[in-house]
Every structure is written in C-alpha cells, then in structure tokens.
Amino acid sequence: MLAMTKYPETQKKGQAEIDAIIDEGHSPTWADYGRLPYVAAITKEFVRWRPVAPLGMPHSLDEDEWIDGKLIAKGTALILNIWGLNHDERYHKNADEFDLSRYVNKTLPALDYRNFAYYDSRDHYRYGAGCRLCTDVHIAE
C-alpha cells in the first residue's frame, strides 16, 4: 500500500492494533472487523485517497432514460467519476491528504453504507453506487 510507505507511523499503529486483538500466528478475519477500527479506517482512507480504478467500470443503459428533461439514450456509456466523488472538497476537506479522521465514526464495512441516499452518509464511493455496486466489495475491503 502506497500510503504505508509514505506514512510509516500509521502502519505501526495499525500493526499494533492487530497485534493487540489477534492471537499470534493468526490473520484477521471478517469476524474481527468490528474490533479493528483503526485498520478499517486505514483501508477506507486508502481506497478513497488513491482508488485503483478512478473512473470505475463503465456501464451502459439498457433503455432510454430522461433525467432533468434530457434524454440519455439506450446504450449510452455511463461512468461514475469515483476520483471526483472521493476528492470533492465539499465532503472531504483537504481531499488530497491521507487523513484517517474521516472515518472515526464510519467503521462499518463499506457494504453497510452502500444505499445511503446522502453523500455525507457514505464512507466513500470506491466500490460504485446503487445497483452497479462492485459485487466483490466484501472481498476488496
């Protein structure tokens, strides 16, 4: 993870949290997720700060759609600007900074935030939105 090479103190704190919670010789599992809030924050901030696919995966409309009086034709490619959403200064102050404090109160898995209607209720948009949410979100996180 790029962020861990740039922020070694963050990595040390994350490792300390894992060492304090997880028995030696074992790796964390999903059952441990709720007990590792600092590690969860590292993961969430990393995928927000430097998403692997900044424009996500393109999708296309399977029927004509009218939005705000404008026709978007069947077959039109739709691209969710994940980078733009995750770096919008209205919702992420100092968006270009790696800042774990964004996730102090958002420690649930990303899947639990997926259907929140309001931007500031989501943790990030790395895995997409709506019915086009990444099917492997539980593996990726």
At 106 the three-state DSSP class reads: coil
How far is 88 from 81, CA to CA, in rounded Å?
Answer: 11
Q: How many CA atoms lie within 13 A of 138 on its CB side?
A: 5
How far is 31 from 98, CA to CA, in rounded Å?
Answer: 27
How far is 63 from 82, CA to CA, in rounded Å?
Answer: 24
| Residue 134 assigned to a binding site | yes
How far is 8 from 21, CA to CA, in rounded Å?
Answer: 20
How far is 15 from 20, CA to CA, in rounded Å?
Answer: 9
Q: Are 110 and 139 in contact (CB under 8 A)?
A: no
As annotated, the binding site for heme includes 134
As annotated, the binding site includes 134
